[in-house]
Amino acid sequence: MAVRSPDGCVAFSGELVLDAWGGGQGLIAAELASATKAGIEIRYDHRATGLLFNGGELSGVRVRTADAVIEIPARAVVLACGGFEANAEMRARYLGPGWELEKVRGTRFNTGEGIRMALENGAMSTGHWSGCHSVAWDSNAPPTGDLAVGDGFNKFSYSYGIMVNAEGRRFMDEGSDLRIRTYSKMGRAILAQPDGFAWQVFDAKAIPLLTDTHRMRGVAKVRAETLEELAEKMEGVNPAGFLEEIRRFNAAICTDIPFDRQVTDGRRTQGLPVDKSNWAQAIEEGPFEAYQVSCGITFTFGGLATDPPTGRVLDVAQRPVPGLHAAGELVGSLFYYGYPGGAGLTAGAVFGRLAGESAARHALTCGAPTMDRSAGG
């Protein structure tokens, strides 16, 4: 949110100040229009299944279509097909137990195929393979992303209320920092709770501050005039534990510090097992609303080692794999434990351009690609 000061300056509360028109779909539409104008051929329903090499030089890709398996010669290849967030087996293997059950915010097609193809040909893995970007995601959301809804299942207003687990207890500092610096950690924290869910709870003061995604139809939401009634409606939560947690939380708030949603206001609690550092307000004014959330995974952090100035994929000896480049979420060593909002698009744009330019230079300077059929391609 932005606020205009008396001197005409606009202050932003630590949120993003630039967005793609139309969100993700708008960004893809703009990129598609640009690619079409440049004469770039786009093939749909072509799933890359392997990289082809002639000796040590990359010579193309193996592709599966609806009707056949074909080989496409190429002097250079840029892998930009995402991490392994939509691969339940890889999530369980690298992120840990329980991750195979979580919801995927985006496409069901980011299954780590690009990473696998590169590793099978000697590429080096790097980065935080047990780490990922994951958020508070509506419990009623489908298993993978829904284009008709987009990002509408996110529940990012936790700073203005509290989150409780099945025992009715708070389990993390909802106000540790601005949302843009904390939202990508929420999914993991929720998954670690009993049965992997939590409820976000707000009173009448906070409800007007909630984002529009809390108001869409079909969300996992309950509403009540009293806390006792709300406790009975919150499925899977211990009512007595919840009401006791509310009482302790309300009593611990430093009420002499004013509430200010635009900044980290320091309005905190004191003396709780888990204190809230900012935006602490008593949960006391009805009506009350609660939203059930689970873990929604966005993308994974582990991936391929690259040479950052060129986007060339490195092998296990840290030498470039001739002709192979990578960009986007399958590149490792970009994020560890956390993620600042907007960094993924920024990294994709910057390193994607570098990889594209490097791949183009390689294609122009090397010979025409050939297939070594006797060696299996």
CA distance 22 to 376: 45
**What are φ and ψ of residue 167, in 5° steps?**
-85, 0
pLDDT digits (tens, 9 = 90+) for 204-233: 999 999 999 999 888 999 999 999 999 999
Neighbouring residues of 94: CB distance < 8 A, sequence distance ≥ 6: 84, 129, 130, 300, 302
Report the pLDDT averaged over residues 122-143. Answer: 97
- The confidence band for 377, taking pLDDT boundaries of 50, 70 and 90, is very low
Give me the pLDDT at residue 368, please.
Answer: 57
User: Residues 84, 88, 89, CA angle at the centre, nearest 5°?
Assistant: 90
Structure tokens at 22: 């139309």
Domain 134-297: give its CATH code.
3.90.700.10
Query: How far apart are the two ends of the chain, measured CA to CA in Å?
Result: 55
Q: If pLDDT is split at 50, 70 and 90, which confidence band does 374 have?
A: very low
In eight-state DSSP terms, residue 196 is: G
pTM confidence score: 0.88
For residues 171, 176, 181, 185, the Cα torsion angle rounded to the nearest 10 degrees is -10
pLDDT at 24: 80
The overall average pLDDT reported for the chain is 92
What's the CA dihedral at 164, 169, 172, 178 to 10 degrees?
40
Q: Identify the pLDDT of residue 18.
A: 73
**Is 194 a residue whose pLDDT tops 80?**
yes
Using one digit for the tens of pLDDT, what is the confidence trace for 163-192?
Answer: 999 999 999 999 999 998 999 999 999 999
Report pLDDT for 77. Answer: 97
Q: Where are the beta strands (DSSP E) in 83-204?
A: 103-104, 125-126, 132-138, 162-164, 198-202
Q: What is the Cα–Cα distance from 319 to 108, expressed in whole angstroms? A: 32
Question: Domain limits of the chain?
Answer: 45-87+109-130+301-375, 134-297
Report pLDDT digits (tens) over 82-120. 999 999 999 999 999 999 999 999 999 999 999 999 999
- At 265-321, the pLDDT tens digits run 999 999 999 999 999 999 999 999 999 999 999 999 999 999 999 999 999 999 999
Q: How many CB atoms lie within 10 A of CB 200?
A: 27
- What's the Cα-to-Cα distance from 364 to each of 54, 326, 350, 360, rounded to whole Å? 18, 18, 22, 6
**8 A C-beta contact, residue 13 and residue 263:** yes
Quick: pLDDT tens for 43-89: 999 999 999 999 888 999 999 999 999 999 999 999 999 999 999 99
Query: Which residues are 64's β-sheet partners?
Result: 47, 69
Superfamily of domain 45-87+109-130+301-375: FAD/NAD(P)-binding domain (3.50.50.60)
